């Protein structure tokens, strides 16, 4: 399973990229809005200088024509740009048209397996089921990943399953076990994943023992 960073923050991307674990980046309008005053195009282009992999840029139109227009524009920004559209019938229209232009799409805000199947049939490159937001409703979000992964596997669908709305380190491991191809994670969760008290205690003890040697 590949690890993507779910942010538009350049410092976070630079730091996580230096760890050598990043295969891509996802952004959305909320994440863009957090970077006060940042221009969409130049942010995506700067991300592309830091990470050599798919970078999702999200459209804001509600109609397929508008999404298509935005997507055609985004695709000019950098070859690694993936056009993000919502899981709606208008989104499907945009995916279908963009695929004809060989432009890759990420179908976001996916909350059921039918949306995932239809997105794949329309030609989506990535489907993004939102694990954390499903969990928030009291339903197990990981079941959604498992279902989509099974449907895709069983029907030899190549669309990649991207586990989104990751809230904690366990979500990453469970996504990998459930068959996700990618997990897109907030920077905080990547840091939490590498933290273990026994690692810290172990380092402390090794250093203390090393010093006591003299």
Distance of closest approach, residue 50 Cβ to ligand G3P, in angstroms: 18
By DSSP bridging, strand 105-110 and strand 81-86 are: parallel
Please enumerate in sequence order all residues whose Cβ is within 8 A of that of 141, keeping only pairs 6 or more positions apart, or say none: 129, 130, 131, 132, 133, 134, 135, 165, 171
Among 5, 16, 28, 193, binds ligand G3P (CB under 6 A): 28
**CA-based nearest residue to 159, from 193, 196, 191, 116:** 116
Q: List the catalytic residue out of 84, 93, 205, 211.
A: 84
Q: Is 115 in the site for ligand G3P (CB under 6 A)?
A: no
Least distance from C-beta 137 to ligand G3P, angstroms? 12
105 binds ligand G3P (CB under 6 A): no
The residues near 212 (Cβ < 8 Å, ≥ 6 apart) are none
Out of 130, 144, 181, 193, the only residue in the binding site for ligand G3P (CB under 6 A) is 130
* Phi and psi at residue 102, to the nearest 5°: 60, 35
CB of 155 to ligand G3P, least distance (A): 25
Active site residue 84: yes
Nearer to ligand G3P, 87 or 97 (CB): 87
Task: Cite the active site residues.
Answer: 84
């Amino acid at each position: 399973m590949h690890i993507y960073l779910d942010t538009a923050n350049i410092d976070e991307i630079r730091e996580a990229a230096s760890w050598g674990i990043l295969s891509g980046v996802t952004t959305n309008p909320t994440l863009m809005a957090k970077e006060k005053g940042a221009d969409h195009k130049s942010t995506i282009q700067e991300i592309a200088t830091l990470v050599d992999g798919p970078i999702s840029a999200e459209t804001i139109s509600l109609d397929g024509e508008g999404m298509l227009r935005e997507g055609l524009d985004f695709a000019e920004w950098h070859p690694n740009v993936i056009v993000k559209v919502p899981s709606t019938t208008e989104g499907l229209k945009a995916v279908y048209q963009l695929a004809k232009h060989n432009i890759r799409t990420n179908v976001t805000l996916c909350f059921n397996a039918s949306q995932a199947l239809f997105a794949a049939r329309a030609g989506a490159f990535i489907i993004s089921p939102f694990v954390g937001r499903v969990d928030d409703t009291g339903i197990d979000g990981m079941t959604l990943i498992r279902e989509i992964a099974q449907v895709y596997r069983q029907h030899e669908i190549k669309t990649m399953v991207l586990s989104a709305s990751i809230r904690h380190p366990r979500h990453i491991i469970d996504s990998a076990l459930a068959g996700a191809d990618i997990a897109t994670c907030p920077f905080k969760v990547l840091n939490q994943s590498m933290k273990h008290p026994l690692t810290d205690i172990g380092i402390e003890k090794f250093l203390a023992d090393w010093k006591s040697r003299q």
